[in-house]
Amino acid sequence: MVVKVTATPEGCRPEPGRVPAGAIEVVATNLDAPTISEVEVRTSNLSEVMGEKENLIEGMTAQFSADLAPGRYIVNCPGAAVSHWSLVAVPATATSGR
């Protein structure tokens, strides 16, 4: 599953924000946010980094992978007006039939 994250000065909302649990590929783009240099996927309490891309300079696109168990996660982009965005991993059967 591919999750697109576009970092702007306002934030970095993941699209989609709900994914099947398991392996995801995050495509992170720093569109026009000179104050943002990284995008991370963290556990909901922010204690563990599940995947990240550092040194994501303005105008750059990069990818990273993460393996998510069912649950809630935070997409973090320090330096944005809203730096924490929700990402939910649901059991694979919960997304079947769509």
The domains of the chain are located at: 2-95
CA distances from 19 to 1, 37, 43, 76 (A): 7, 25, 15, 17
pLDDT digits (tens, 9 = 90+) for 19-72: 999 999 999 999 999 999 999 999 999 999 999 999 999 999 999 999 999 999
Q: Write down the residue that tokens 């997304």 correspond to.
A: 95
Task: Tell me yes or no: is domain 2-95 CATH 3.40.50.1820.
Answer: no
> Is the confidence at residue 95, as pLDDT, over 60?
no
Q: CB atoms < 10 A from the CB of 64, how many?
A: 19
Residue 87 contacts residue 19 (beta carbons within 8 Å): yes
Model confidence band, residue 94 (pLDDT cutoffs 50, 70, 90)? low
